[in-house]
Amino acid sequence: MIPAIELIGIDKRFGTVHANKDVNLAIAPGSIHGIIGENGAGKSTLMSILFGFYHADKGEIRVKGKPVKIKSSSDAISMGIGMVHQHFMLVDPFTVLENVVLGAENGALIGPALDKARAELTRLAHEYELDVDPDALVGELPVGLQQRVEILKALFKGAETLILDEPTGVLTPDEADHLFRILGTLRDQGKTVILITHKLREIMAITDRVSVMRRGEMVATFETRKTSVEQLADAMVGRHVLLSVDKGKPNPGEVILDVRGLTWKDKKGVPRVDNVSFTVRKGEIVGIAGVSGNGQSELLDVISGIVKPTSGQVIFEGKDIGIMGDPAHVRAEGIAHVPEDRQHRGLIKEFDASESMILGWHHDEALGHGFRLDRAKVIARAKAEMETFDVRPPDPFLKSAKFSGGNQQKIILAREMLSNPDLLIVGQPTRGVDIGAIEFIHKRIIALRDQGKAILLVSVELDEIRSLSDRILVMFAGKIMGVRGPEADERELGLLMAGVVKDAA
């Protein structure tokens, strides 16, 4: 069978970084082919070469057996290759229909193009279960629907091969399940799907074959049904990986964070955090479980000082920090914060990595005096933190935007976790992070707990919440629905996440 896509001897360097090393890959038509690897393994670079964003230094690309030159994304699209990026390429003020037709207007008169696009959009949405209102503004859609728009854009432009880069990193479990049904439908209709992901259970659930990259090289390809999560993890990292969290019993101390009757209302007066009360003790990890959008993000915003509460108190070490409404003051009290949205809140993409790695700590006297930073000390700190957290490439001068999503996450985690906080607030600690780094991050969080630090953890990954937490709070519609131990089963937690208390169930 002639491969739908074949990459032969692909090689690519960025300065001293050898991103792809003589990579060979064949993708069967009408299949879902997974590509996995650690952050910085070269997966996204390889797909960016296939989609025309980068040009290989050497090597050959074949589409349906024919050698092709892909000099731009327009060339890729004309050859039936579409790509859904990890961070969506959509225009928020435009409607769904306008986003889909963007770049394919076919002339100066937009009206006929929109009419034609509307009819085709209706057909595609029906055929592939991609229903979305064509007249809705993209910026007002939830993330799951925005992703559907990206897929519709690619299909509208004639994609026969669809590349998805970390597609479930920002999705709820239900949205991810629906995406997999869509991908299965695409495969059944003869489309070819290339799936880049860190989540090995997703690979096992949806792919036909899976290829493993490590440090720029293609090291193995498996038939999915003949492999296992353990084998894939070991191939990714090059060593045996502990997939379960190894931790001892907690030794909780005094209460360090006391949240009392906390309420926060949005501009429309809707309570996003609704009369929430809980405590966090030194030496324990309190996890907050819940489907994304049920108040967890807003709760972290209030505690970290990004917004002031509408009512209630946030008592930290005996002081009401809720009234501050200032992240700098909250940070000065001994609280570190890993935000859920790394792109917009965790770093400044235009800054060098070394600059992003001191954000919030730039007044530290160890980095300079007065208004002047000692550049050599900033670089030295960045290099040390990059080495500790295995940031790839370990280049403090590289722009923050140039790192992969997982390595951007490592930059933020290194900055916050190495600041020696009394309380670490962490949202989605391993979103978009590879299996080896997940193991490392989990160990660091447990080590902080064992040093007597307090951790407040939010994650949409229920396995992560259950594995790390000493106590689990479940949120629904801004309220705490219940408190459980880590031994609680998924079904019980799932009911609470849906707003159903056990007695009512």
Three-state DSSP class for residue 385 = helix
**Strand pairing class (319-320; 161-165):** unpaired
Q: What sign for the dihedral angle of Cα 346, 349, 352, 355?
A: negative
pLDDT tens digits for range 73-103: 999 999 999 998 877 788 989 998 888 888 7
Distance CA 323, CA 330 (A): 10
What pLDDT was estimated at residue 109? 53
Q: What sign for the dihedral angle of Cα 357, 360, 362, 367?
A: negative
Q: Which residues of 225-256 are buried (b: 16+ CB within 10 A; e: fewer)?
A: eebeeeebbbbbbeeebeeebebeebebeeeb
Distance CA 160, CA 183 (A): 13
Is there a contact between 328 and 354 (Cβ–Cβ < 8 Å)?
Answer: no
pLDDT tens digits for range 101-113: 887 666 555 666 6
What pLDDT was estimated at residue 504? 39
pLDDT tens digits for range 462-498: 888 999 999 999 999 999 999 999 888 888 888 888 8
354: left (phi over 0), alpha (psi -120 to 50) or beta: alpha
In terms of C-beta density within 10 A (0-12 exposed, 13-18 middle, 19 or more buried), how is residue 105 classed?
A: middle
Distance CA 324, CA 9 (A): 57
Residue 256 identity (one-letter amino acid): I
With residue 444 as reference, give the H or E element that holds it: helix 435-450
pLDDT tens digits for range 339-396: 988 888 889 999 999 999 999 888 888 888 767 889 999 999 999 999 999 898 899 9
What pLDDT was estimated at residue 169? 67
Domains, the chain, in order of start with CATH, read 5-237 (3.40.50.300), 251-334+421-505 (3.40.50.300), 346-420 (no CATH)
Q: Which two tokens stand for residue 440?
A: 């490392």
DSSP conformation class of 95: B
Is there a contact between 20 and 187 (Cβ–Cβ < 8 Å)?
Answer: no
What pLDDT was estimated at residue 88? 79
Which stretches does DSSP call E strand in 395-478?
A: 423-427, 454-458, 471-476
Evaluate the omega torsion of the peptide bond into residue 393 and state whether it is cis, within 30 degrees of 0: yes
Question: 10 Å Cβ neighbour count for 277?
Answer: 12
Three-state DSSP class for residue 473 = strand
412: left (phi over 0), alpha (psi -120 to 50) or beta: alpha
Length of the chain: 505
Is there a contact between 313 and 401 (Cβ–Cβ < 8 Å)?
Answer: no
Q: Please give the order of strands across the beta sheet that includes 66-68.
A: 17-27, 5-14, 58-63, 66-68
Residues of the chain with pLDDT under 50: 503-505
Select from 466, 353, 476, 489 the least CA-distant residue to 409: 353
pTM of the model: 0.69
Q: Where are the alpha helices (DSSP H) in 238-363?
A: 296-303, 327-332, 353-356
Residue 266 identity (one-letter amino acid): D
Select from 19, 111, 88, 3 the least CA-distant residue to 56: 19
Is there a contact between 459 and 299 (Cβ–Cβ < 8 Å)?
Answer: no
Q: What are phi and psi of 394, to 5 degrees?
A: -80, 60
Select from 50, 57, 47, 106 the least CA-distant residue to 75: 50
Three-state DSSP class for residue 354 = helix
Distance CA 399, CA 397 (A): 6
Concatenated DSSP letters of 4-25: SEEEEEEEEEETTEEEEEEEEE
Q: Which residues of 125-142 are buried (b: 16+ CB within 10 A; e: fewer)?
A: beebebebebeeebeebe
Is there a contact between 319 and 257 (Cβ–Cβ < 8 Å)?
Answer: no
